[in-house]
Amino acid sequence: MTLYQPFLDYAIATLQDRLDLSPYPIPAGFESNTATTGKGKREVTVHTTSHGYCSPKLRQIRAAHVQAGDSLQVLNFVIFPRLEYDLPFFGGDLVTLPGGHLIAIDMQPLFRDSPDYQARYSEPIMPMFNRYQQHLPWGGDFPEEAQPFFSPAFLWTRPTELEDVTTHVFNAFKDYLNAYIGFVEQAQPITDPEQLKAIETAQLSYIRYRAEKDPARGMLTRYYGAEWTEEYIHGFLFDLERHLQTA
């Protein structure tokens, strides 16, 4: 089973069709990795692949795709805008375990408390969010410390049926991504130094939080070891700090 391959294929094809994409460098050793876990009949091969792109307005478009048959299917797909744009992040966390599915799709805001920012980037997609909530109900509590990093249109759900993932979740992923690309196409560069500093601060705050609290850390460490995992998280998945240090 490769549940989330169609999501990844769609995202890359759509981005390539609508934006001017270039490859984003993936550090050596992180393009793919394979591990074996369990014993006997429970032995499972875990395969992780990485994908990276960028565009004139998007600093990093990246995906981590983890496949282990019926035991585990994960796609973590995130878009980080360049620092001269006040665009939100695009985030899709799609996780399937034997016990069910955990789905999080959002355009994560830089400035959640700004009414002007909400009006530009959250309110236009609220009808979409409301439409999908009919089929994908709210997934329940998530950490209070994480709440500032999500928009009012945060689609967080725990579908019990595989069919809901292949239909409603896939459609939501497509619609959110296309709406996000629309925002990218319209985005104008920021030139005000104070705004630019605020954007950098907000991006670093988000990336530091995500790197510190990455829910995949335990899983990846179990499969590939702590050294590989920490370098993968800080050197590829959430690499802005490294990027700024070497700029």
Domains by residue range for the chain, with CATH: 5-246 (3.40.1500.20)
pTM: 0.95
Kind and range of the H or E run holding 95? strand 89-97
Q: At 247, is the pLDDT very low, low, confident or very high (cuts 50, 70, 90)?
A: low
Q: Please report the pLDDT score of residue 232 as a whole number.
A: 95
List the beta bridge partners of residue 64.
50, 76
Q: Please report the pLDDT score of residue 44 as a whole number.
A: 86
Integer-rounded Cα radius of gyration of the chain: 18
Please state the rounded mean pLDDT for residues 179-184. 98
> Could you read off the pLDDT of 14-40 as tens digits, one per residue?
999 999 999 999 999 999 999 987 777
Please state the rounded mean pLDDT for residues 109-127. 93
Please state the rounded mean pLDDT for residues 72-91. 96
**CB under 8 Å, gap of 24 or more: what pairs does 22-26 form?**
22/53, 22/54, 22/55, 23/52, 23/53, 23/54, 24/52, 24/53, 24/54, 24/60, 24/61, 24/62, 25/52, 26/50, 26/51, 26/52, 26/236
Please state the rounded mean pLDDT for residues 2-11. 95
Backbone angles phi, psi at 79, to 5 degrees: -120, 125
Q: Cβ(91)–Cβ(104) under 8 Å?
A: yes
Give 68: exposed, middle or buried? Use CB within 10 Å, 0-12, 13-18, 19+: buried
Report whether pLDDT(245) > 90: no
C-alpha to C-alpha distances, 138 to 2, 47, 158, nearest whole angstrom: 25, 30, 8
Which among 65-69, 83-87, 211-215 has the top mean pLDDT? 83-87
Give 204: exposed, middle or buried? Use CB within 10 Å, 0-12, 13-18, 19+: middle
Q: At 147, is the pLDDT very low, low, confident or very high (cuts 50, 70, 90)?
A: confident
Please state the rounded mean pLDDT for residues 174-187. 97
Q: Please report the pLDDT score of residue 145 as a whole number.
A: 75
Please state the rounded mean pLDDT for residues 63-84. 94
Give alpha helix (H) positions in 24-168: 115-121, 126-133, 162-164
Backbone angles phi, psi at 159, to 5 degrees: -65, 145
Q: Please report the pLDDT score of residue 1 as a whole number.
A: 59
Please state the rounded mean pLDDT for residues 166-178. 97
Q: Please report the pLDDT score of residue 56 as a whole number.
A: 97
Q: Please report the pLDDT score of residue 49 as a whole number.
A: 96
Q: How far apart are CA 95 and CA 158, in angstroms?
A: 10
